[in-house]
Amino acid sequence: MKKESVTHLTGEGNYAWLHYSDGRKHITAQTLKHLESVLPEYIRIHKSFLVNPAYIRKVKPFPHTLSGVVILVNGTELPVSRRRWPQVEDRLSRIRKGP
């Protein structure tokens, strides 16, 4: 797996789909929880989604809620859960500020 070209991962039970920037998909027999531990630079935005912050174009909050969507550079919209919204905002603001 060339992790730099993976835009996001989608979990399905004990399997995960890796979505690549060129549109390819690959399934792996690993859970998102495991992949989250080996890909610490990726952000868990939902129980079913792990996203590469390098491919996030925009974060769109929903009015009057603590949730929203991330929009990737290829136009894909992925939901951010209410539970994870504060961590996602925090991680992205730290990434954008830089070291």
Please write the tens of the pLDDT for every residue from 4-26.
Answer: 799 999 999 999 999 999 999 99
Note the pLDDT of residue 1.
Answer: 59
Q: What is the pLDDT of residues 28-67, one digit of tens each?
A: 999 999 999 999 999 999 999 999 999 999 999 888 888 8
Residue 99 scores a pLDDT above 70: no
In the chain, the DSSP E strands lie at: 6-12, 15-20, 25-28, 43-46, 49-51, 56-61, 68-72, 77-80
CB 88 within 8 Å of CB 80: yes
What is the rounded distance in angstroms from the CA atom of residue 32 to the CA atom of residue 9?
8
pLDDT band of residue 75 (cuts 50, 70, 90) is: very high
Residue 63 CA to its chain's centroid (Å):
21
Query: What is the chain's length?
Result: 99
Task: Using a pLDDT cut of 90, give the percent of the chain over it.
Answer: 78
Each domain of the chain, given as residue ranges in start order, spans: 3-97
The CATH number of domain 3-97, selected from 3.40.630.10, 3.30.70.870, 2.40.50.1020, 3.40.50.620: 2.40.50.1020
Residue 31's Cα: distance from chain center in Å?
14
Q: What per-residue confidence (pLDDT) applies to 93? A: 86
